[in-house]
Each structure stands twice: as structure tokens, then as C-alpha cells.
Amino acid sequence: MKKIVIAIDGYSSCGKSTLAKGLAAALGYAYIDSGAMYRAVTLYLLRHNIDPADEEAVAGALPYITIHFENIGLGNHTFLNGEDVEADIRQMDVSENVSQVSIISAVRRAMVKQQKALGRRKSIVMDGRDIGTVVFPEAELKIFLTADPEVRAQRRYKELTEKGVEVAIEAVRRNLAERDRIDSTRMDSPLRQAEDAIVLDNTNLTPDEQLEKAIALAEAAILQPAD
């Protein structure tokens, strides 16, 4: 059967990772969370007291940062220099600084290079902001996920509080709005819908319903004859 690359892009907390994980499991594909890579870089900077706005200092830190992923139980964990940081990269301090870090071109170049390498053998689902536009412009299937901002904030709040993170809903709303603003207005590879992406609005869909739609799109893309 033809192996394809699936790119899923969209705003923060749209349910991209839930969809990407489900799709990868259904197809027997690898799942890569590209946002986790930007989060791991951000965590490194915060731990080493490097100002995320200091482009030179950030670029200088990149050679000391190694990121890899491992499947642990049902989850795909992110490792920073050999340490499992899956929980740490989801904390609010990382969320509050990650968009600033991902503006920096040197960071983007380093991450995109690794992401392209991960997709070389195909059979991969990757989610992020620039996957269909920059990382895999040739992806056989591109999905642009959207959802109502308030629904996104409520989902994110629930996810964080269930993980034991203490946060006010207003702080979550502010963080999502600010990240959407920075991610879609930055100079280098801003978040935008690829021309050939299929828009999926999941405001009124359950995770199972959105997965069903995405599986149908993936099956159609797999059956499509290669160019």
C-alpha cells in the first residue's frame, strides 16, 4: 500500500495532537508532535536562564540541545538531552514563552531540519503550525484544524486541571489568544492554511467524529495514484 505523509496544522489547542495520535494509531503510522520540539527548546532556555527574546543567546544554545521521542506505554514522550520532559514542557511557563522562541529563525531552521529527516521514510503524521506549508509542502494529505476560541480555551483548561496544573481559565484564554497572534503574524513561516489543505472545524465534533472524518480523508489520499 502507498505510504503517505499527513500534515496537520492549526491554532493552539484545536485538538491537533488528539487527532494526529488517533490517525497515526489507526494507520500504523508514526506520530510526531512538532510543537513539543519548540517546547523542549523553550524549557532548556528557561532552565539555563537564557532570555527567550535574546536571539543570539538562543542560537548559541542550540548546539547543546538534543531532542528525541520515545513511545512509553500509550504515550509518545519528548526527551531533552536524554531526560523525559513530557510533563515539564506542558507547564504554563513553557506555554507562555514558546511562541517567542519559535519566532527565531535559527530555532526554526534547526527544528525543520530534524522534522524533514523524520518524514523521509513517510508513514508519518506530524502536527504543528507550518507542517503543510514549510516542513512537508509535498504532503499527500494536509488538514487545517479549526475550532471556536472559547471551546478551545475550555478544552485546554480541562486538560490542564485534570493533569493537576493550577491555572485560571482567564490565563488560559489570554495565553491561547496571544500564541495565536504571535504564531500567525511572525515573519518566518507563520501559521497559515496551505492552499491545498482541507479545513476541518471540530467545534461541534467529538474526538471520535473528527477521527472518522480524517481516516476517510487519509484512505482517499492513500488510494490516490502517485503523480
Chain positions contacting ligand DC, by CB under 6 A: 12, 34-35, 38-39, 98-99, 102, 128-131, 179, 183
Minimum distance of ligand DC from residue 155's CB (angstroms): 12
Minimum distance of ligand DC from residue 219's CB (angstroms): 25
User: Measured from the CB atom, is 99 or 202 closer to ligand DC?
Assistant: 99
Minimum distance of ligand DC from residue 165's CB (angstroms): 14
User: Measured from the CB atom, is 90 or 222 closer to ligand DC?
Assistant: 90
**d(C-alpha 191, C-alpha 187), whole Å:** 10
User: Measured from the CB atom, is 104 or 226 closer to ligand DC?
Assistant: 104
Minimum distance of ligand DC from residue 103's CB (angstroms): 8
Minimum distance of ligand DC from residue 76's CB (angstroms): 13
Contact 161, 77 (CB under 8 A): no
User: Measured from the CB atom, is 11 or 29 closer to ligand DC?
Assistant: 11
The three-state secondary structure class of 114 is helix
Close Cβ partners of 129 (under 8 Å, ≥ 6 residues apart): 9, 10, 34, 35, 102, 183, 189, 190, 191
Contact 110, 74 (CB under 8 A): no
* Ramachandran angles phi, psi of 143, nearest 5°: -115, 130
- Name the DSSP letter for residue 134: I
